[in-house]
Amino acid sequence: MKHNAKAAIIDSFKQLLNKKSMDKLTVKEVCEHCNVNRQTFYYHFTDTMDVFKFIFFGELSAEIAQNRTFDTWSGGFLATMNYLKRNSKMVLHVYNSSYWPELNTAFSNFSYRLLDDVLDECVDEMEVKLKEKDRKFIINFYIHVFNGLMIDWISEGMKEEPETILKKLLVMVTGSFPRSVASFIKEEIKE
C-alpha cells in the first residue's frame, strides 16, 4: 500500500505541475488529487519540492546512466537536454517559481558529482595528479558552461533543438578537458 501511495503522489504531482506553477502547488492539493492523507504524503516526502527533486533527479539519473564517462559525457548532456524538453511544462513551472534557486543549487551539486567522475577518469587516463583546488576549479568551470547553456536555453523557452546546442558545445570544448588538466599540471598555477 505504501509503495502505491508514493506512486500515486508522484503521478498526481506530475499532472498538477504540468498545469500550474510550483508556487501554487500545495501538499493539500496533491493529497486531494491522489486521495491520500497528509500523513501519508509526509511519510514519503518533506514537501512539494522534495517530490520534484525525487522525480527530476531519479528520472534524470536513469536517462544518463550509461553516459557518465569521459568518452560519453556528450550523450549525458544530450540526454539531460532531451529530458528537460520532454518535461518542459514542469521544468518551466519550477524555473518561473520561487523554488528555482533551490533546484538550481541541487542541479549544480548533481552536475558536480557527474563532472567529478569524468575528471577522475581523465586524470587516471593521463596518469597524473591534480591538486584539489585545481580539480574544483576545472569542475566549476565546466558546471558554469554546461548549466549556463541549459539555463539560458530554459529561459528562452527551450526552442532550439538539443542536438544543435550539443554540436555547438562540442565545437567549443572538444579536447578541452584533457588540455585543462595538462595545463594545470604543466604550469602548477600559483595562487
* 121 shares a domain with 91: yes
Length of the chain: 191
CATH number, position 32 = 1.10.10.60
* 27 shares a domain with 71: no
CB 27 within 8 A of CB 41: yes
SS3 category, 47: coil
CATH number, position 92 = 1.10.357.10
CB 95 within 8 A of CB 161: no
Task: Give percent of the chain with pLDDT exceeding 70.
Answer: 95
Give pLDDT tens digits for 59-89. Answer: 998 888 877 777 888 888 899 999 999 999 9
* 168 shares a domain with 145: yes
DSSP 158: S
Confidence label for 176 from pLDDT (cuts 50, 70 and 90): confident
Query: How far is Cα 22 from Cα 14, in angstroms, rounded to an integer?
Result: 11
CB 81 within 8 A of CB 161: no
* 183 shares a domain with 100: yes
Which range marks the domain in which residue 37 is found? 1-45
* 109 shares a domain with 35: no
Name the residue with higher pLDDT: 44 or 177. Answer: 44
When divided into structural domains, the chain yields a total of: 2
Give pLDDT tens digits for 80-117. Answer: 999 999 999 999 999 999 999 999 998 898 888 888 88
Select, from the ranges 3-12, 70-79, 173-182, the one with the highest average predicted confidence (pLDDT): 3-12
pLDDT at 191 over 60: no
H runs (alpha helix) in the chain: 2-17, 27-34, 38-44, 48-64, 73-86, 88-95, 100-126, 132-155, 162-173, 176-187
φ, ψ dihedrals at 133, nearest 5° = -65, -35
pLDDT at 151 over 90: yes
Report the pLDDT averaged over residues 36-53.
Answer: 96
* 5 shares a domain with 91: no
pLDDT at 153 over 90: yes
pLDDT on residue 59: 92
* 155 shares a domain with 109: yes
